[in-house]
Amino acid sequence: MTNATKLSNAFGSTTTFRHNGLTNGTIYYYAVAAESTEGEGAKSSIMAATPLADISATNYVAGSSSAKPAAPKSVSAVAASQQVAISWDMPKNQLPTVFDPAETPTQAPVISAYNIYWATSLITDLKKANKLTLTVSKEVTLPVTFVHNTGLTNNTPYYYSITAVAATDVDGNPLKNAAGTVLSFESPTSSQVMAVPEAKKPAAPTGLSATSGAQQIALSWTASSTSGAVYRLYVSDKVPASPEELVASQNLVAITTTPSYTHTALQSGITYYYVVTAVTDAESAPTAAVAIALR
């Protein structure tokens, strides 16, 4: 991020932070990095958010217009490989309670759905954005989480904005006015957030060791701390400039789900170099290279 302002120790030991003193309607971009006495780690994916003025409901007053539910708040997005999980909450006074006389429902409304608007660029016109609808019941637990996992591409930014919809009463019946006209109220849009799906690299295995035998080498290593990882074992009979170079050679010996492997049918008098990586959605960094001469 260029021209970024660092909020030093913004989180402390917690994983939440409220950034105050911002300007409503202005887009702010955020990335998070862990920091210790050894320095700052890699930054997270960038998220965009736009603070908006709170919209709260008031009491029923016939004759007032422009009634809407309050906008969803505390919107966040967490990316994984080819998916984004969007979460949001609602203000306590979330229901529309002020109506134009012609649009006064005969029953009190409840939030019955959320519209998730999304695009691959900043959303400036909802009519041009893609739209997904999540239908909910009155028992829905807040905050709400929706996983968008259809048709997304890794390393592409996705922007999201959420609205709340009140179209039913507490019993799930369609809202209607006294004349029987079906009613539906949609809130203003939430703050906009951005996330970039990417294949997450698992934790690398460690402690690769090798023992030679009769035309074979037995290898073992400490498993990755990432669950569900499989392992790729690479070999070379030439000194690699780095472990990464050995992986790039693509001289793959084996793919295994266990942290050990015996490489057989080898030639005596040759020194072999090995590294191991862990693989889930992506491939981890390699272990340090291990060299062993087969006598």
Span 174-207, pLDDT tens digits:
988 888 999 888 988 998 999 999 888 899 999 9
* Both tokens assigned to 216: 């074979």
Using DSSP bridges, classify how beta strands 216-222 and 206-213 pair: parallel, antiparallel or unpaired. antiparallel
User: Is the residue at 39 inside a domain?
Assistant: no
Residue 220 to residue 279: CA distance in whole angstroms = 17
Residue 256 to residue 62: CA distance in whole angstroms = 70
Q: Say if residues 286 and 242 touch (Cβ distance below 8 Å).
A: no
Span 71-102, pLDDT tens digits:
899 999 999 899 999 999 998 877 766 566 67
- The domain total for the chain is 2
The whole-number pLDDT of residue 9 equals 66
User: Is the residue at 11 inside a domain?
Assistant: no
Estimate to the nearest angstrom the gap between the alpha carbon of 37 and the chain centroid. Answer: 28
Which of 195, 224, 239 is the last residue in one of the domains? 195
User: Is the residue at 211 inside a domain?
Assistant: yes
Listing DSSP states for 99-131 in one string gives --GGG-BSS-EEEEEEEEEEESS--S-GGGSEE
Q: What is the pTM of this model?
A: 0.64
Domain that holds residue 218: 206-294
Residue 150 to residue 143: CA distance in whole angstroms = 22
Residues 6+ apart with CB under 8 A from 24: 51, 52, 53
Span 105-147, pLDDT tens digits:
888 788 999 999 999 998 989 999 999 999 998 778 889 999 9
CATH number at residue 242: 2.60.40.10
Of the listed ranges 30-44, 105-119, 218-232, the least confidently predicted one is: 30-44
* Both tokens assigned to 174: 């369609």
Residue 122 to residue 120: CA distance in whole angstroms = 7
